[in-house]
Amino acid sequence: MRGSGILCLLVCAVLVTSAVISPAMAGEGGVTVPDFKAKNLKGKNVELSKLLERGPVLIDFWATWCKPCLRELPYIEELREKYEDQGLTVLTVSVDQTRSLAKVKSYIKTHKYGFEVLLDPNQRLLKKMKGSTVPYLLIVSPESERLYVHARYRDGDEVELAEHVAEIMAKYGTKGETEEDAGETPAVEDTDAES
């Protein structure tokens, strides 16, 4: 009886431990993100596959009623400003209800955010991307591979996010090419040969 009680406690401990999933799951190579089309604030369709032709895409799901989301958005904008010229596209996806559309537009305009805002009032896109709560962020490679996922937001998470984006852009960014990647090694070899 005592042995089965200990076994039960061990099983419970394992179950509880495995239920606590880290909010950040980096290095999820091999997981393909499905393509999608969604309307932006101007009512135009935006297609993920078209954006991926340019480079990695950071997708952040948020809502005007979500305080952690609103605290995270300035950091998302900083990343856009820093890496947009290197090929990073930043999409934010509002899960606000359709009747709150004016609120979303006003919030973006007031804060002068330059990222693209898509609308997902029924949260279909959020579910398609395997999210269940906001904020929910993922970064997709040009090959449609999920590179990084982060659910929720706590102050300080932006540091980890910035590190991951820097690593991703060093690999996939247009200015992140090394001389070896760009095929410029012969020039280095020629200089060495002359000296």
Determine contact, residues 145/55, Cβ cutoff 8 Å: no
Asked whether residue 189 is domain-assigned, the answer is no
According to the model, what pLDDT value does residue 2 have?
53
Asked whether residue 78 is domain-assigned, the answer is yes
Dist. CA 99–CA 40, nearest whole Å? 15
- Give the model's confidence band at 139: pLDDT under 50 very low, under 70 low, under 90 confident, else very high: very high
Range of the domain at 117: 24-177
Q: Please report, rounded to a whole number, the percentage of residues in the chain having pLDDT higher than 90.
A: 70
pLDDT value at 135 more than 80: yes
Asked whether residue 150 is domain-assigned, the answer is yes
Dist. CA 96–CA 103, nearest whole Å? 9
According to the model, what pLDDT value does residue 33 have?
95
pLDDT value at 192 more than 90: no
Across the range 117-122, mean pLDDT stands at 96
Determine contact, residues 39/45, Cβ cutoff 8 Å: yes
What angle in degrees, to the nearest 10, is found between the helix axes of 67-83 and 101-111?
Answer: 50
User: pLDDT higher for 157 or 187?
Assistant: 157
pLDDT value at 22 more than 70: no
pLDDT 10s digits, 59-117: 999 999 999 999 999 999 999 999 999 999 999 999 999 899 899 999 999 999 999 99
Asked whether residue 43 is domain-assigned, the answer is yes
pLDDT value at 184 more than 90: no
CATH of the domain at 81: 3.40.30.10
Asked whether residue 182 is domain-assigned, the answer is no
According to the model, what pLDDT value does residue 18 have?
28
The number of distinct structural domains making up the chain is: 1
According to the model, what pLDDT value does residue 28 have?
45
pTM of the model: 0.75
